[in-house]
């Protein structure tokens, strides 16, 4: 019997790792969270009419309004996560629009259940790029279902 105890390997979730990395990032300042639709891609994902018809749009606007009351840094959680790089082709159901900078810090805001608002962050601005109704931007295994 060995004198040394073997510790089980502890792995961090991708979301927790992204939150920790982003909290230490100097690129994000403490100004109020600002939302921009300048980079919205209307060719992929859902559109405002889809979400309005499914009674998601008003809730999404309420969620975004709530985020604008504080700094972007203070909003980081499991509901608002900065992933960093764009997901690999196997992990996403979307194609990165050509007009988005290659070094964009990709992020998502959960609206309800599967519905997410996908975009990228520059300083205190969240640029909405996709309305992701079925959690296709960053595909992951469903847990606790």
Q: Are 23 and 73 in contact (CB under 8 A)?
A: yes
Tokens coding 92: 């996403």
DSSP state of 26: S
> How is the chain split into domains, by residue range?
29-132
Tokens coding 85: 């790089």
Q: How far apart are CA 118 and CA 49, in angstroms?
A: 17
In tens digits, the chain (145 residues) has pLDDT values of: 545 544 444 455 555 565 565 554 545 556 888 999 999 999 999 999 999 999 999 999 999 998 888 888 788 887 898 988 998 888 899 999 999 988 889 999 999 888 999 999 988 899 999 999 998 998 876 555 4
The residues facing 35 across adjacent strands are: 126
Q: In what order do the strands lie in the sheet with 125-132?
A: 34-36, 125-132, 115-122, 105-112, 80-84
Q: How far apart are CA 133 and CA 66, in angstroms?
A: 20
């Amino acid at each position: 019997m060995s004198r040394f105890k073997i510790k089980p390997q502890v792995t961090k979730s991708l979301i927790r790792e992204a939150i920790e990395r982003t909290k230490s990032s100097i690129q994000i300042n403490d100004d109020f969270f600002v939302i921009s639709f300048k980079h919205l891609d209307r060719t992929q994902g859902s559109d405002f009419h889809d979400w309005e018809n499914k009674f998601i749009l008003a809730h999404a606007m309420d969620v975004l309004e709530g985020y604008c009351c504080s700094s972007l840094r203070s909003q980081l959680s499991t509901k608002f996560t900065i992933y960093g790089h764009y997901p690999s082709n196997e992990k996403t159901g979307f194609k990165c629009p050509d007009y988005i900078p290659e070094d964009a810090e990709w992020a998502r805001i959960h609206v309800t259940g599967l519905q997410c608002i996908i975009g990228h962050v520059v300083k205190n601005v969240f640029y909405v790029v996709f309305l992701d109704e079925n959690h296709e931007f960053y595909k992951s295994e469903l847990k606790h279902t």
